[in-house]
Amino acid sequence: MPTGASDRDAAMDAAFAAGDETALAEAYRLFSPLIRALALRRLQDPGAADDAVQEVFIRAWKYRDSYAPDRSTLAAWLVGIGRNVAAGMATARVRSSETLMEPPEPGRHSGPATGPDPDGVADRVVLDAELARLGEPQGSILRLAFHEDLTHQQISETLKLPLGTVKSHIRRSLVQLRQRLEVSDAASAT
Amino acid sequence: MQHLPPEALALCALGETDPGETAHLESCAECRAEVTALQRVVTAGRAPDVAEELPRPPSSVWDGIHARLGLSDSVRSDPFDAPERPAAAVAAAPAGAPAPAPAPQESPAPSAASLEAARQRRQRRRLPQILGAAAAAVVLAAAGTWGITRVLSDRSEVIAAVDLSPLASYSETGRAEVDERADGERELVVTATGSGAQGYREVWLIAPDVERMVSLGTMEGTEARFAIPANLNLDEYPIVDISDEPFDGNPLHSGDSILRGVLDL
């Protein structure tokens, strides 16, 4: 994984892993609204969502040793912990021993929709952070495909790269980014 | 039936599909599943950026974090109210990182020259990787019967293991082992024959009351390794469970287990 994109986020991720408290504060400023939105959607209770945010950042800081900046962005890792914490709180609330055996009750997860879908926003935030780490020319190829809606032929012409190179970068980058998004589904550090 | 080549699947996920591919996708569940999985990335990439509009937590949340973690006074105030503080974090950028990258926001399309430079950097970087792989091969060959797993995981010791049995309607078999490394870190190593999963597989540690559970992550292929959180007491969560999870964005256990076993601790 090229580390060429030494942007502000990469610096924050490394500083967080190294135990810099200002990086924790910065991560909180950047990601706590998203983590709160994810928890709120799941728990349907603003007070519980605030508790979840607090728990996520406390847990993340305590277990920062298990965060590896070269394996995922801090965004993906925190969102993964956020989802685990919210799911754990939701499970604790549903005191039903049939949780595993019976299909989930409809309506338990889908509260009234308010504003943008937090899971969709989380994917976008995580993806942006990962895109910044992708290196070049992969980052440019995907930005052109996502944001400019260019076809792979147009990308090949724009970046003056062979068609086959563009196609294989698209393939490999999508697979890699998908794995990175999956980090945010379930962090191992909870 | 001939499957679509991987690169075509990726282009399909981006919406570049020709009629022949469309027809194939309609009849081939496997290719369709691959495209669907990649589309999650594309959907995220094309989603509007609205994270800024989400409301911030009340200041009491940061107060609680600050108190519980015993943080220093320099980060006392709610980060949303504190002035921007780029210096400390940025100063910690890894040494040897190339000097100033363009603005972190939207970088313009790179020039041909910079792309060429990037290509050369990548090629130079590839060499040590190849050497690394060769060196690893020598180590593995030398390891002989001692076992590849143990070499790779640095003299780990198996402290618990169990054969996983299929639940009704599944025929897979599998095994779960808990490795403890010399440094005390524990890993769950799960192997499973092919996947009858409709969605994706997720690996869980579950309490005997089948109520509390911890998700360790998703599983691809026939073997997966997961770090077990240091403070997690396996006596409390002895059940290893692999579930079939639909792509529905719901992080709870689907209730559909493929394999399960109870660790003998």
Write down the pTM of the prediction: 0.54
Determine the residue among B4, B7, B56, B116 to mutate to test chain A binding: the one whose Cβ has the most chain A Cβ atoms within 10 Å.
Answer: B7
In this complex, the residue of A7, A14, A171 whose CB is nearest that of residue B94 is A14
B6 occurs within a structural domain: no
Digit-by-digit pLDDT tens for chain A (190 residues) are 333 333 667 889 999 999 999 999 999 999 999 999 999 988 889 999 999 999 999 999 999 999 988 888 999 999 999 999 998 888 887 654 444 544 444 444 444 445 678 888 899 989 988 888 888 889 999 999 998 889 999 999 999 888 988 998 999 999 999 988 887 886 444 4
A37 occurs within a structural domain: yes
B16 occurs within a structural domain: no
Parent domain of B256: 157-262
Interface contact B115, partner A, CB < 8 A: yes
B131 occurs within a structural domain: no
Please give the Cα distance from A176 to A86 (Å, whole number).
26
Per the structure, the count of domains in chain A is: 1
pLDDT, tens only, A20-50: 999 999 999 999 999 999 999 888 899 999 9
Task: Flag if B92 and A14 touch (Cβ within 8 Å).
Answer: yes
pLDDT, tens only, B149-174: 333 334 567 788 888 888 877 788 88
B146 occurs within a structural domain: no
Per the structure, the count of domains in chain B is: 1
B166 occurs within a structural domain: yes
> Which tokens belong to B123?
């090629």
A45 occurs within a structural domain: yes
Q: List beta partners, residue B239.
A: B206, B262
Parent domain of A92: 3-97+118-188
CATH code at position A148: 1.10.1740.10
A67 occurs within a structural domain: yes
Cα dihedral B109, B110, B112, B113, rounded to 10, equals: 160
Task: Flag if A186 and B56 touch (Cβ within 8 Å).
Answer: no
**Concatenated DSSP letters for A128-144?**
HHHHTTS-TTHHHHHHH
> Which tokens belong to A174?
């999508």
The answer to whether the beta carbons of residues B219 and B201 sit under 8 Å apart is: yes
B115 occurs within a structural domain: no
A49 occurs within a structural domain: yes
A135 occurs within a structural domain: yes
In this complex, the residue of B11, B114, B251 whose CB is nearest that of residue A152 is B11
Quick one: pLDDT at residue B192? 86
Nearest to B257 by CA among B186, B182, B174, B184: B174
Nearest to B4 by CA among A146, A144, A181, B13: B13
Predicted ipTM of the assembly: 0.79
B93 occurs within a structural domain: no
Q: List beta partners, residue B177.
A: B161, B189
